[in-house]
A and B are shown apart, each in its own frame.
Chain A
Amino acid sequence: MSAYDLPDKRGHFGPYGGLFVSETLMQPLAELRKAYEKLRNDPKFNAEFAEDLRLYVGRPSPLYPAKRLTDMWGGARIYLKREDLNHTGAHKVNNTIGQALLARHMGKTRVIAETGAGQHGVATATVAARFGMKCVVYMGSEDIKRQAINVYRMKLLGAEVVPVESGSKTLKDALNEAMRDWVTNVEDTFYIIGTVAGPHPYPAMVRDFQSVIGKEVRYQIQEFEGRLPDALVACVGGGSNAMGLFYPFIDDAEVALYGVEAAGEGIESGKHAATLCTGKPGVLHGNRTYLLETEDGQIIETHSISAGLDYPGVGPEHAWLKDAHRARYVSITDSEALAAFHELTRIEGIMPALESSHAIAYAKKLAPELGKDKVIVVNLSGRGDKDIHTVANLEGIKF
């Protein structure tokens, strides 16, 4: 089997990905592609990126053997990739640093971003502050209500947070609005997309910046196990933390890849965000991928307890990995995720983001199935501080 080398030159992962944007964006995207192609193999750029990840983000993030969890679950040995320990508390910053460096090389002075849970917005506002760039973050007004603390963090960092009132007032609408800003202000503006979706080259570029996660796991696991893991588990909304973990392992057929989507109140309730598990291929936000849509092709509102998974599309590379049977996509409900949130908090003293709690919850099912001699690495993509209001609310506690 030849080494995995997708996407192709036109940004296609099999039938997925591509460039489905209005003509106005074709030229800016071509410029971005050119700049990224030039810099991705430039040793100086890569050294700059690596140094920022080390000194500013605090990488490498630890690979933590969760021994108590392993004992309790009575199956495979569980390791947690601690992206929650990154500066700003999630994996998102790996990508925003990469794109902000690229923006600086392209001479752009203003960055914009869309955000759902607010983690990508915070990560963008953070690097904008550090690089002295103007920053505007688009956020659905529903998400602003759910994530008040992150909104305030972004403002403290000097970003302007623009509430998006259109459509379902969530992440997908924020993405539409950010695209509009970019079309209008492309001269001085760089659009930092937060996930492995959007038009080419974003899915590949964000994946490349996030793949530091998987690269670290590859050598870190050697120290404990002297071999590669049997399974990788990560939550999938747009899919950037999962792609970052999976990508360096795609050619290792013996490593099973599990992407965990949000089943919300249950698949059968219709209130979920399990795009790969239940959706159909279509075109949204610049790429062809699986979508949650009505019978006549309108994108539907999704539901998840975690704003970061609440997205009706998914990165096109995940769509391809699903069809190619290289990765398996499963789903976890709100209540299962919530239980995992509490379990990890109480057993290991680590409070996971509700997004990452979906991955933890699935690992709990997988561990006994695989058995004691197997090894599972779970991507703990973010920390749960931002979610304590949600969790408290569900338990009837008001601050």
Chain B
Amino acid sequence: MSRIASIFQQLHKRDRRALIPYITAGDPEPWVTVPLMHALVTAGADILELGVPFSDPMADGPVIQRASERALKNRVRLVDVLNMVREFRAKDDKTPVVLMGYLNPIEVMGYERFAAAAAAAGVDGALTVDLPPEEAGAFTPVLRRHNLDAIFLIAPTSGEERVSRIAAAASGFIYYVSLRGVTGAAHLDVNEVEAKLKSIRRHTRLPLGVGFGINSPEMAAAMARIADAVVVGSAIVRRIEEMAGTPDRVLGEVPAFVASLRRAMDSATVSPEQVSGGRA
């Protein structure tokens, strides 16, 4: 069983929802990334989403774009991101790591070379935001062959036919984009998200994660009641940006924020006696 599938199975037994924080690799500085990944796990993250910096992150908002720009200024390349995962894996062989990014750096490396290197480094899945299933015919099978999950997005505007097509191509989990617009935008409607998740579940048994626009413990808790996983990106990256000049503070305060998300999510889903038992 893949690391991602096994994490969801364990969480399900304990009636917990997965917390998936996103950070951009190399932001604010390359040396911060691996210690930050470990600290996020300690703070309660179940899966880590690691952004691969790209010069033209069209589907992201300004917060994540600036994170990409900081990382690129630090000359962080796709191979460096893979090395960070390898370093992380040396001390943590349980927490799944999903790479999130754009297709072009992967195209340049070559699908086969990327998948082999990612698998060897200990990556568990890849989400290429500008690669819809229609164009992924050559990529997804290569990921599969290396036991990497292909994570796909479903949007509020995706009709039934698209949802079923995406569900067929996806593995690991499916990432539901909880609002129209780019990452970090506002206006999240919980009822609308809940209705859409219900309709997606008719097409798949994969766990459903929700992301885009989740910026507070309250919102994370609301999403934990209706989804299998909660992805928080811009709210974390914004905090990293505020402390970019003092990376040591990033390592203290960003995990503290993630721990607050964890507590809010657990109190929304787990009965009191389970909470007192603590984390396994």
Contact = CB atoms under 8 A, between A and B. Distances in A.
Interface of A: 10, 18-24, 26-28, 166-167, 172-173, 176, 179-180, 183-184, 186, 280-286, 291, 293, 295-300
Interface residues of B, number: 45
Given A180-B58, A283-B103, A291-B104, 16 more contacts: A19-B132, A22-B59, A22-B155, A23-B177, A24-B153, A28-B157, A166-B62, A176-B56, A176-B57, A184-B181, A281-B107, A284-B104, A297-B105, A297-B106, A298-B72, A299-B55
Interface in B23-63: 53-59, 61-62
A296 B154 CA distance: 28
Interface stretch (B7-15, B158-166, B236-244): B158-166
Given A21-B132, A28-B157, A284-B104, A298 B54 contact: yes
Contact of A166 (B65, B135, B157): B65
Q: Interface residues of A: mostly helix, strand, loop or mixed?
A: mixed
Contacts, number: 125
A21 B130 contact: yes
B205 interface: no
Contacts of A21: 58-59, 130, 132
Interface string B170-184: 000000010011100
Given A180-B61, A298-B55, A298-B72, A26 B104 contact: no
B216 to A, nearest CB: 21
Contacts of B116: none
Contact of B135 (A20, A172, A176, A282): A20
B109 interface: yes
Nearest to A172: B56
Contact of A22 (B55, B56, B153, B185): B153
B112 to A, nearest CB: 16
Contacts of A18: 134-135
Interface centre among A167, A183, A284, A285 (most CB of B within 10 A): A183
Nearest to A21: B130
6 contacts: A24-B59, A27-B155, A176-B56, A183-B59, A296-B79, A297-B107
Contacts of B181: 24, 180, 183-184
B77 A10 contact: no
Contacts of B66: 166
Given A296-B78, A297-B107, A19 B55 contact: no
A20 B130 contact: yes
B129 interface: yes
Contacts of B53: 298
A283 B107 contact: yes
A27 B163 CA distance: 11
9 closest Cβ pairs, A-B complex: A297-B108, A297-B105, A27-B157, A22-B59, A184-B181, A23-B153, A296-B77, A24-B155, A298-B55
A376 to B, nearest CB: 37
